[in-house]
Amino acid sequence: MHRSRLYGIFIDTPAGEADAAITFWAAALGGSSRQVPGEPAFTQITGAVPGLAVDVQSIGDQARYHVDIETDDVEAEAARLLRLGAVLVTDHGGHKILRAPGGHLLCVVPVQSAEHFFAIEAEVWP
């Protein structure tokens, strides 16, 4: 058995437009922006959606959105999603990038939330 939950929505933005996107999304969602420590490509929009990370990610590609699913077992969660029809894009060892049916990207990552919050909110999978 393992547990997982939707951790966050990421607004992937071409690097040259990231500052404008950060300003826009913080104002649009009624939050404030905060650089994620140790992650220069990520700026968190705090206070936007309670219980859900919303970040602008500066990327070297076209604009898109992706979601992160956090889990206490990356291998088991990725396998579950692959059985549901996702395909593996990249295996980074500690996390995996998948493409869901329909073409959307999602990342399967280790638990990012506080453990007590994860324990309450996560789904349990056989």
Q: Give per-residue pLDDT as tens, 26-80.
A: 999 999 999 999 999 999 999 999 999 999 999 999 999 999 999 999 999 999 9
Q: Residue range 107-118: average pLDDT?
A: 96
Query: pLDDT band at residue 15, thresholds of 50, 70 and 90?
Result: very high
- What pLDDT is stored for residue 44 in this prediction? 97
Spatial separation of the C-alpha atoms in residues 107 and 42, rounded to whole Å = 15
- CA dist 58 → 83, 107, 110 (Å): 31, 16, 21
- Residue 65's pLDDT is 97
How high is the mean pLDDT of the chain? 97
Residues 6+ apart with CB under 8 A from 121: 5, 51, 113
Q: Identify the pLDDT of residue 90.
A: 97
Nearest alpha-carbon partner for 45 in 61, 31, 24, 57: 31
Cβ atoms 122, 76 nearer than 8 A: no
The beta strands (E) that lie in 1-126 are given as: 2-14, 32-35, 42-46, 53-59, 64-71, 87-91, 96-99, 105-110, 123-125
Give the pLDDT band of residue 116 (cuts 50, 70, 90).
very high
The reported pLDDT for the residue numbered 21 is 98
CA 109, distance to chain mean position in Å, is: 8
Q: What is the pLDDT of residue 47?
A: 93
Instruction: Find tokens 């789904």 and name the residue.
Output: 123
Per-residue model confidence (pLDDT) at position 25: 97
Tokens linked to 121: 């909110």
% of the chain exceeding 70 in pLDDT:
100
